Structure 1
Amino acid sequence: MVIRLSEQWPEVSSDRLLSECVPPPRFSDVRFATYRPDPDEPSQAEALAALTDRAAKLSLPRQTPSVWARLRRKAAVPGKQGIYLDGGFGVGKTHLLASLWHESAGPKMYCTFVELTNLVGALGLRTAVDKLSSYRLICIDEFELDDPGDTMLISRLIGQLVEAGVEFAATSNTLPDKLGEGRFQAVDFLREIQALAAHFDVRRIDGPDYRHRGLPVAPDPWPDEKVEQEAGDRPNASCDHFVDLHRHLAELHPSKYGALLDGIETVAITDLRPLTDENVALRLVVLADRMYDRDLPLLAGGVPLDQLFSPEMLKGGYRKKYLRALSRLIALARAA
C-alpha cells in the first residue's frame, strides 16, 4: 500500500533529536581513506590532511584540565577551536566532516545547522549548553544564518561551548564572515557574526560538483500515472501530490521532517510545479536534505527538477540553499 506523507503526523521528543545527532546513513561508512581528492584541485588534499591531523589529536584520551588550566584558558585570548570547510556543492565537504566524526573519540555530536537550531529550540539554550558542554567534538554540516534569531542563538551557544573546551568542525557554502548576507540585515549583527568567525580556522575546498561531472542537468520527469504506478510496485514507497505535500509541510515543524520519512524507502511526488513562494521553497529544501541523508530515491512527475526554483530565487539571498537542494534532488532522481 502506498503511504501518503501528507497524512502522517510524527511526534519527535528532544531525547530523540539528541540521540539522532550522528552522521546520516549515506555517510555512515565514509572515512578519510575513502575520500578521493581531485588531483586538479590541491585544496581538497590540503583539507584532507588538515582534518586527518585534527582527528589524530581528537582520538587521544581526553585530559581533564586542572582548575588552574581552566582559569588560564578562560582568561586567554580566544583561539581557533574549530575548523570550517568552505566550498561549493559536491566537493566532499560532508564526506570529510563525517570522517572526522567517525575517527574522533567521544563524546561527540554530528548534526546539520538546522538540526542544531531545532535542538536548542527544543531544549532551551541553558539546558543545551549544560548537555553539550561535556562533548569533545561537535560537527555542524551546512552552517548558515537565515535570520537574526539564529545568529544570536548560535553565537551565544558556540561561545559558551568553546569556553567549556568543546571543539567544532563545520561545513558551509559561505565564508563565516559573510554569513547572513542577502538574507537579513547582517550588518546589524556584525559583532555576533565576527565572533563566530573568530572561532574557526577556515579551509577552502574547490572543485566541480562530483554528482554532475559529465551528467545532464536533470533527468526527464515521468508522467504522473507512471510515478503512481511505480510507487505502488515498490515496497514502503510514499506518493503525494506536490500541493498536498507542501501544504502538509507548512503544518509541521522542520525538526519533524526526518521522522516523517521513517520507514520510507522511496519518495514519489506527482505534479511538481515551479515555486514562487519562498516559504514553500525553504521547506522543500529541508525535506530534500532529510531525503538525501537517508538516500531515498525520488520518483518525480511534473516539471523537470531544475525548473522548481524560479530564476528570481536562484539569484536571491537563498541561492546557495536552492542550488544545494537541486543538486541533491537530481542525484536522488537519478538513483530512482
Structure 2
Amino acid sequence: MSDVRSRYDARVAAGDIEHDTIQADLADRLDRLADQLADKRLATKSSSLGWLFARKAPPTPKGLYIWGGVGRGKTMLVDLFFGAVPVRRKRRTHFADFMGDVHERVHEMRKRLKAGEVKGDDPIRPVANIIAEETRLLCLDEFHVDDIADAMVLGRLFTALFERGLVLVATSNTEPSELYRNGLNRQLFLPFLELLQQNVEVYHLDAPTDYRVLEREEANVWFAPADDQARKALDHAWCNLTGTRRGTPTEIRAKGRVLHVPEAAAGAARFSFRDLCEKPLSSGDYLRIARRFHTVFLDDIPVLPPEKRNEARRFVLLIDTLYDEATRLLASAEAPPPELHPEGQIAPEFQRTSSRLIEMGTSAYLERAHERRHSKNTSSVVDHIPDASLERGAYSG
C-alpha cells in the first residue's frame, strides 16, 4: 500500500500546506496508481512468488495527465507520489529536459545508423527502446508543446514507449486537447493526442487557489524598474554575497559546447538577459548553469512583446530550470513578473513562470533552496542573502 495521502496529510498537520479537498482526492488517486504499479511489478518480477501471478498478470495501468492552473500543487503531489511509489526503474524530470535528452539521443543514433553501426533507418524507435529499458515509470513536470521538433517526435516516441509498458505521469497547465494549439502542421500532431488519451487518465486539478501567491513573506530579490538604482542594489548584493565587486569571466564546457559566464565568484554567477535569452541556448545549457552555481544574478530583463517569442520561450526554460534545481535568483527587470509577457503565443505558459518568479522571491523558497542545495552537498553555498544588501523592495504582487 502506497502512502501519498498519508504524506500529504502529514504536511498538512505540520502546517507546511493547507488542506485542499481536490488535492487530497488527487493524492488518493495517485495512491491507487502506485498500488497498481506495485501489483504489476509483483506479477512480473522473477522471484519465488512470481509464477503464482504470471497467469493473471494485471495489464499495464493507465498513467495520469494532471493539468490545472499555476501554483495549485501539481508538482508537490507528483513529488510525493514519486517518493512513495515502489518502482525501481523510475525517472522524474522536467519535460524540456526530457525532450532535450531525447533529441540528443536521436542525433547520436542517426550518426550510428549512418556509420552502419546499427541496422535500420528509424532513429526514434531504438531510442525509445533504450529509454523503456531504463524507465518503467516516467514523471514529466510542466508538459507543454510549442516546438515543432518536439511535436514531430512525440507520437513515434510514445507509441514505442507505451508498447513497451511505460507508464506516464505528467503535470501541465494545459489540457491535452489544447497542446500545440495553432502550431505549425498541427494535424500531424493530432495522432499523438489520441495516443495520449488512450494511455493516461486526464485529471483536472481545479484547486481554487494559487498557493505560491499566498506566501507573502518576501526577500528583496526582484528590482523593478531596471534603472540605475536597481543596478546599484544588485551590485551591492553581489559584493556582499561574493566578497568582490566584480567576478571573474569563466567558461562551462560540456559535450563540445562552450558557455561563457561574464562574472563568477563564490558559487554565484552574473549574466544579462541578453547573455542568457537572446542567444541560442538550450535547456541543457541552463541546467549546467543551475548545477554549477547556487545563485544567479540576472540584469535588465525587458518586457517581452509577442514578437519576442523566442526570447520569452528561453526565459521560461531558464526560470523552470533554476526553480527545479533550487537555484536562487536576483534580478532587475522593467516590470513585475506578471507584466513581462502579457500577450503572445506562450502567454498562458508564461503565467506559470510569473508564479514561479513570485515564489522564488519568498523567504520560504530561499530557505528551501538552501536546504536542498546542502542536501546535494553543493560546495560554496552561502547561508543567506544579507537583508542589508537588498534595501529595495521585491515584487509583492
**TM bucket by the smaller chain?**
0.7 to 0.9
Write the letter of the residue equivalent to 1:103: A
Gaps of 5+ in 1: 1-29
Amino acid aligned to 1:259: R
Deviation at 1:252, TM superposition (A): 2.7
Higher relative contact order (CA 8 A, sep 6+): 1
CA distance in 2, matches of 1:153, 1:322: 24
1:137 counterpart = 2:137:
yes
Q: 1:177 to 1:197 in 2, by over 3 A?
A: farther
Superposition TM-score, scaled by structure 2 size: 0.66
Tell me, in whole angstroms, the C-alpha distance in 2 between the residues paired with 1:290 and 1:167: 24
- Aligned equivalents of 2:214, 2:182: Cα separation in 1: 29
Query: Which 10-residue stretch deviates more, 229-238 or 180-189?
Result: 180-189
Distance in 1 (alpha carbons) for counterparts of 2:140 and 2:342: 29
**Secondary structure, in 3 states, of the residue corresponding to 2:300?**
strand
Please give the per-residue CA displacement for 1:44-66, whole angstroms capped at 9, x wherever unaligned: 22111000121233345443389
Match of 1:232 in 2: 239
SS in 2 for 1:261: helix
Match of 1:89 in 2: 70
2:355 is the counterpart of 1:327: yes
What are the superposed Cα offsets for residues 271-320 of structure 1, whole Å, 9 maximum, x if unpaired? 2221231101100110101110122222122323326533323xxx3122
1:209-261 alpha-carbon deviations (Å, 9 max, x no partner): 101027499965371111022123224222222223323xx233322210122
Q: Aligned-pair distance for 1:192? A: 2.5
- Cα distance change of structure 1 residues 290 and 214 upon mapping to structure 2, 3 Å threshold: closer
In 1: Cα distance, 2:212 partner to 2:172 partner = 18
CA distance in 2, matches of 1:262, 1:79: 35
Cα deviation, 1:109-146, whole Å, max 9, x if unaligned, reads: 11121112111111122342122223221111111121
What SS does the aligned partner of 2:43 have? Answer: coil
Match of 1:108 among 90, 96, 113: 90
Question: Partner of 2:100 in structure 1?
Answer: 118
Q: Counterparts of 1:80 and 1:185 in 2: how far apart (Å)?
A: 31
Provide the rounded CA distance (Å) in 1 between the counterparts of 2:36 and 2:61. Answer: 15
RMSD: 3.3
1:45 alignment partner, one of 16, 20, 24: 24
Matched with 2:116 is none
| TM-score calculated relative to the size of structure 1 | 0.77
Pair member with larger Rg: 2
Distance 2:126 2:35 in 1: 30
Q: Is the 8 A contact 1:272 1:308 kept in 2?
A: no
Moved more, 106-115 or 269-278: 269-278
Query: How do 1:1-336 and structure 2 match up within 5 A?
Result: 32-34=8-10, 36=12, 39=19, 41-59=20-38, 61-64=41-44, 81-104=62-85, 105-124=87-106, 125-134=124-133, 135-207=135-207, 208-213=209-214, 215=216, 220-221=223-224, 223-234=230-241, 235-247=266-278, 250-276=279-305, 277-306=308-337, 309-313=340-344, 317-334=345-362, 335=366
Tell me the amino acid that sits aligned with residue 54 of structure 1: L
Are 1:80 and 1:198, in contact at CA under 8 Å, matched by a contact in 2? no
What is the number of residues matched between the two proteins? 297
Q: Structure 1 319/275 Cα, relative in aligned 2: closer, same or farther at 3 Å?
A: closer
Change (3 A) 1:152 1:34: farther
In 1, Cα distance between equivalents of 2:28 and 2:330: 39
Helix, strand or coil at the partner of 1:262: helix
Residue type of the partner of 1:266?
Answer: T
> CA separation of 1:231/1:190 partners in 2, compared to 1, >3 Å: closer, same or farther?
same
Moved more, 219-228 or 229-238: 219-228
Structure 2 unaligned segments of length 5 or more: list them.
Answer: 1-5, 107-123, 242-265, 367-384, 386-397
| Helix, strand or coil at the partner of 1:84 | strand
Does structure 2 conserve the Cα–Cα contact (< 8 Å) formed by 1:305 and 1:329? no
1: CA distance, partners of 2:189 / 2:170: 20
